Structure 1
Amino acid sequence: MTKKKAVLTVTEDLSNLFERPAQGRAEPKRKAKTVNDRLTVEKALATVMRQMEISGNRQRTIDDYQTYVNHFASKTGIVYVDEITADKIYEWLAGMDVVPQTKLTRLKCLKAFLSRCFDNGWIKTRFWRPITIKVDSRVKEGATERDIKTLLSVLDLGDFVQLRDATAALLMFKTGIRVNTVAHLENKHVDLSEKLLRLDGEIMKNRQDLLLPFDNALARMLEVLMKQNDAIRREYGVDNDLVFITKKGGPVATSPSNNNIQKRLNKYAKKYGLKNINPHALRRGFAKSLLEKGASIVDISKALGHSDLAVTTQYLHMDKEEIAKNLRKYL
């Protein structure tokens, strides 16, 4: 065995950890530059993007604004902000040959841009608010304990890549963190002595610090993985403190849409017939598990890093009847 291959072999014994389950603040308003006293969409968008950057919005969000606002202006032939009307928005939507969910995503970006124009005093009314796209809601399942145990039982924890993937999957299922957070997790965020994730706002979508506990099995896997990471980084001369790395020591994600962990989980799901082994399902599984164990919606919402409770109830697919039933217990 070559030295480089040897560094990918995990010598710690993890065979007894799992068994296969039985079957069965914002920038002040500023006046944007205008052409002949009329504000162009181009100038308005540039100003809004600067405001978003100063406010700390993620680059991906800013890029979405730019893409869809430019698409709207291009398809409708609109040059000035004061030309934007509800009819023009409907015209734009009608011209799209895409599924309703994609239309809704693009509409949300355009609405968000128009809301910022309103806040800056460039538009007098929120005429766009009644415009919506109806999308049939599909209940998305969350991963179960059986799903995660099946995955862990079929993966070879003696192989570095499979150990890394198994640890990432279990981490998402046990703590509910997003796959993008997983990719940016550093050693400083993992407190093995206290069995606690100490997440800072820099790697969180909502920019809020968060503490999340984890169990003994996950602590053991993280300990072994981090030890193996050190050996790989030394072998390839890589300088980083990431918890999840490639077999040559680099980051597992080069962009939000190119994440090696997500790709590997999709591969395992297809190979082993595990439909709920993906980042979203693992995160939903975490939330549903907490709910079943009696955790409050407020605590679950905080753990997931959601902006408000409405998002969490939608995430858990809790309808108004179910909420009323739960509340009746406290009357």
Structure 2
Amino acid sequence: MPKKKEIFSVSDDLNGIFSNNAAPKAKAIPPNDRMLLTRALEIITRQMEISGNRPRTIGDYERYVTLFIKLTGVNYLDEIDSNKIYEWLSLMDVSNQTKLTRLKCIKAFLSRCHGNGWIDAPFWKKVTIRVDQKIKEGATEKDVKRLLSVLDLGDFVQLRDATAAYLMFKTGIRIGTVSYLEGKHVDFNERLLRLDGAILKNHNQILLPFDDTLAKLLDVLMRQNDQIRKAYCRKNDYVFITKHGGIISNSPTHNNIQKRLNYYAKMYGLKNINPHALRRGFAKSLLSKGANVAEISKALGHSNLAVTTQYLHLDKEEVAENLRKYL
């Protein structure tokens, strides 16, 4: 009879069986062993792939680090300093906004190198580039009413799109949340959206009130949904569905509602009819009605107030008019 020790002792050598799927080990560089930038990029992109980063993000790392090597002639990680980064930026014949985008990517790459122990001090954090921010307008009540007035609410698709637009303007929810909104989230008795963390970007539960007009639109739309699902034998409880009863795509480039809103904006010459503008319009509307920034931030589901203030960007005339109240 074998001893217990022998039973739990595995004789086969399984070391390295998962080596092809394991993330590369990020070890600090020995003093006399210099890290090639191409090697650092190879390891970091592999780490990102296994961590589940988006292919587009990984592609940006590869594109801009490769561009950095090409323009500056730098091959080793320890050759990079603030001056080299500024030199790289000066060699690009693009707008400052584009430079800023590329700079953020290089900074993120260097931060990962720092996290892997390959760089001692985060010198890149002090590298800056000035960009004049364009004020992104939010939708107004007038913009939304114009949209609703030109749409045929007797047509299912147009009713769906109108309801989605009005919903985003009146509650501030993201287009991604709209796609996953279900009947269980709509409380008609209390006139509340009861949103659970599963469908929100920050994963925190939130309650958002809605008005009678939105209640009417949602009620009609949801009853119409039932007929469509029955006709096409679909089983789901989504509030916004395709004309064949399926789920609305949540992809930014293929989202049915987002594409339709862009179509309406061009067809009817409408301003600020897109998900971001509707969300900003919701924030500005709350501010104009007396809500404080903390309340608006909670309603938008932001993790910090700095993001909220970007949504509430006021032009010079608005600031002057607001200050006049305190004279």
TM category, shorter: 0.7 to 0.9
Task: State the one-letter code of the partner of 2:121.
Answer: T
Q: Is the 8 A contact 2:284 2:312 kept in 1?
A: yes
Aligned to 2:45: 45
Q: How does 1:99-110 map to 2 (within 5 A)?
A: 99-110=95-106
- Residue 228 in structure 1 maps to residue 205 in structure 2: no
CA deviation map 1:274-304 (0-9, x unaligned): 1121112111110111001000000111111
- Residue 76 in structure 1 maps to residue 68 in structure 2: yes
Structure with higher Rg: it is 2
Q: Structure 1, unaligned stretches of length 5 or more?
A: 1-29, 54-58
The structural deviation recorded for 1:127 is 1.6
Q: How does 1:162-241 map to 2 (within 5 A)?
A: 162-241=158-237
CA deviation map 1:69-110 (0-9, x unaligned): 111232234776545443554455455555433332333233
- Residue 147 in structure 1 maps to residue 143 in structure 2: yes
Task: State the one-letter code of the partner of 1:43.
Answer: I
CA distance in 2, matches of 1:82, 1:190: 56
Task: State the one-letter code of the partner of 2:46.
Answer: A
CA distance in 2, matches of 1:91, 1:253: 43
CA distance in 1, matches of 2:186, 2:105: 35
The structural deviation recorded for 1:218 is 0.6
Q: Is the 8 A contact 2:232 2:245 kept in 1?
A: yes
CA distance in 2, matches of 1:182, 1:149: 20
Q: Is the 8 A contact 2:171 2:282 kept in 1?
A: yes
| Secondary structure of 2:124's aligned partner | coil
The structural deviation recorded for 1:131 is 2.4
CA deviation map 1:171-227 (0-9, x unaligned): 010011111221222223222222212222332222322221111111111121112
| Secondary structure of 2:107's aligned partner | helix
My pick for the range that moved more, 292-301 or 250-259, is 250-259
CA distance in 1, matches of 2:248, 2:92: 35
The structural deviation recorded for 1:123 is 2.2
| Secondary structure of 2:202's aligned partner | coil
Q: Percent of counterpart pairs with the same letter?
A: 61
| Secondary structure of 2:208's aligned partner | strand
Q: Is the 8 A contact 1:192 1:219 kept in 2?
A: yes
CA distance in 2, matches of 1:83, 1:45: 21
Q: Is the 8 A contact 1:48 1:113 kept in 2?
A: no
CA distance in 1, matches of 2:46, 2:107: 16
CA distance in 2, matches of 1:80, 1:123: 12
Q: Structure 2, unaligned stretches of length 5 or more?
A: 1-23
| Secondary structure of 1:198's aligned partner | strand
My pick for the range that moved more, 263-272 or 38-47, is 38-47
Aligned to 1:160: 156
Q: Is the 8 A contact 2:34 2:77 kept in 1?
A: no
RMSD: 3.0
Distance 1:181 1:107, change over 3 A: farther
Higher RCO (CA < 8 A, seq sep 6+):
1
CA distance in 2, matches of 1:174, 1:201: 20
| Secondary structure of 2:194's aligned partner | strand
Q: Is the 8 A contact 2:138 2:278 kept in 1?
A: yes
CA deviation map 1:100-143 (0-9, x unaligned): 33332333233234334434433211121122333222222211
Q: Is the 8 A contact 2:175 2:275 kept in 1?
A: yes
Q: What count of residue pairs does the alignment treat as equivalent?
A: 290
Distance 1:242 1:81, change over 3 A: farther
Task: State the one-letter code of the partner of 1:63.
Answer: P
